[in-house]
Amino acid sequence: MNKKITIMSEEFENEQTGERVEGITIVVDGMLKQFLEVIKAKESKYENNLGIIQDALMKGLEIVKMEVDK
């Protein structure tokens, strides 16, 4: 079973401020796609992959913050 997620990073420049920011793209395929399909089928509050990924990211960041704050 292949348990990898393809994530790409690209740098962008804000045209108004000149600030350079990182943009991150998550490719939804393979096992990740299958996992997200299961979640959407079981949980009606998720209409699309974006909602699941946003929740997972925020919950994961909360855990990371708690670990860093120890």
Instruction: Report pLDDT digits (tens) over 30-48.
Output: 999 999 999 999 999 999 9
Average predicted confidence (pLDDT) for the chain: 94
Q: What is the pLDDT of residue 2?
A: 65
Count of domains forming the chain: 1
Neighbouring-strand partners of residue 21: 12
Q: What is the pLDDT of residue 21?
A: 94
Q: Which residues of the chain have pLDDT under 70?
A: 1-2
Range of the domain at 40: 6-68
Contact (Cβ atoms closer than 8 angstroms) between residue 22 and residue 10: yes
Q: What is the pLDDT of residue 3?
A: 72
Contact (Cβ atoms closer than 8 angstroms) between residue 9 and residue 29: no
Q: Which of 10, 51, 62 is nearest to 28 (CA)?
A: 51
- Residues 27, 52: Cα–Cα separation, whole Å: 14
Residue 1 lies in a domain: no
Q: How far is CA 61 from the centre of its chain?
A: 11
